[in-house]
Structure 1
Amino acid sequence: MTPSQLLSEGVELMLYGMGSVFVFLTLLILSIHLMARLLGRIAPPAAVAAVTPAKPAVQAEQGPEPDVLAAIQAAISQHRARRD
């Protein structure tokens, strides 16, 4: 085969592959829209109740808990000891 024949067959194969992917994705999108409409008619969307989020209790102290603070301090001291 000549290079021009190989190139034309390659382009033909590329167009066939891209066309089949395009057709598949188009059919997929159409089927999704069709199913959404069908489900919309069969079971209309339920009314969503307005939900107010519960406010968390305000802590008197906004800092970390004492055991967390102790763990942080221990980690910092270990890090500094390894650096020296």
Structure 2
Amino acid sequence: MHSTLIEQGFDLMLFGMGTVFIFLFLLVVVTVCMSKMVNHWYPEGEPVADIVAEQPPVEPLIASVIQVAIDRYRAR
């Protein structure tokens, strides 16, 4: 039995699509497993935003100097 060129092309297409499907399926499975392992071993810490909020406010003199510099830059 000789297979036609169309049948050979169809077989090759199915083999290629199957290979890509299996590769992508394995990629998703490995990525999900790695994500679960990383979250298990290295859980998320507390947010850092609280530390940043404790910075002292800018002095009024420095704020006015910055505002004057911005005004002069925009006036150009």
* RMSD of aligned alpha carbons: 2.1
How many angstroms apart in 2 are the aligned matches of 1:37 and 1:45? 12
Q: How does 1:60-79 map to 2 (within 5 A)?
A: 60-61=71-72, 62-64=74-76
Provide structure 1 residue ranges, at least 5 long, that are not aligned to the other structure: 65-84
Runs in 1 of length 4+ with deviation above 4 angstroms? none
Provide structure 2 residue ranges, at least 5 long, that are not aligned to the other structure: 54-65
The normalised TM-score by structure 1 is 0.59
1:40/1:6 Cα in 2 relative to 1: closer, same or farther (>3 Å)? same
Query: Per residue, is there more helix in 1 or in 2?
Result: 2
Aligned twin of 1:82: none
1:63/1:11 Cα in 2 relative to 1: closer, same or farther (>3 Å)? farther
The normalised TM-score by structure 2 is 0.64
Please list the CA deviations of residues 18-43 of structure 1 after superposition, one character each: whole Å capped at 9, or x if unmatched: 11011101100110010100111111
Percent same amino acid at aligned positions?
33
Equivalenced residue count is 58
Aligned twin of 2:17: 18
